[in-house]
Amino acid sequence: MSSEMAIHADRVTVRYGRRTAVDDVTLSIQSATVYALLGRNGAGKSSLVRAILGHLRPDHGRVAIFGEDVWTRRATLMDRVGVVPEEADAPPEMRVRDLGAFNAKLFSRWQQSAFDERIARFGIEPRVRFGELSKGQKKQVMLALALATSPDLVILDDPTLGLDVVAKKSLFEEVIADMADRGITVLITTHDLGSIEAIADRVGILRDGRLVLDEDVETMKERFRRIRFAKEPVVLDRGTLTTANVRRWGNGTEAVVTNFDDLAFERFRSEAQLERVEVSSMSLEEIFIAVSGENGVQS
For CA atoms 85, 91, 97, 99, give the dihedral sign. negative
Per-residue pLDDT of the chain (299 residues; tens, 9 = 90+): 455 899 999 999 999 999 999 999 999 999 999 999 999 999 999 999 999 999 999 999 999 999 999 999 999 999 999 999 988 899 999 999 999 999 999 999 999 999 999 999 999 999 999 999 999 999 999 999 999 999 999 999 998 887 888 888 888 888 898 898 889 999 999 999 999 999 999 999 999 999 999 999 999 999 999 988 776 555 665 557 777 777 777 777 788 889 888 887 777 777 667 677 888 999 999 999 998 875 544 33
- What are the distances in angstroms from CA 139 to CA 75, 97, 251, 272? 24, 15, 48, 54
DSSP per-residue string spanning 207-219: ETTEEEEEEEHHH
What is the structure's pLDDT at 299?
Answer: 33
Question: Three-state SS string across 66-129, please?
Answer: CCEECCCCHHHHHHHEEEECCCCCCCCCCEHHHHHHHHHCCCCCCCHHHHHHHHHHCCCCCCCE
CATH match for 5-219 among 1.10.150.120, 3.40.50.300, 3.40.718.10, 3.60.130.10: 3.40.50.300
H or E segment and range at residue 292: helix 284-292
| Furthest-apart CA atoms within the chain: distance in Å | 72
DSSP letter at 134 equals -
Task: Tally Cβ neighbours within 10 Å of residue 275.
Answer: 9
Give the bridge partners for 156, in sequence order. 84, 188
| pTM for this model (two decimals) | 0.90
Of 197, 268, 198, residue with least CA distance to 236: 268
Ramachandran category for residue 18: left, alpha or beta (phi over 0 → left; psi -120 to 50 → alpha): alpha
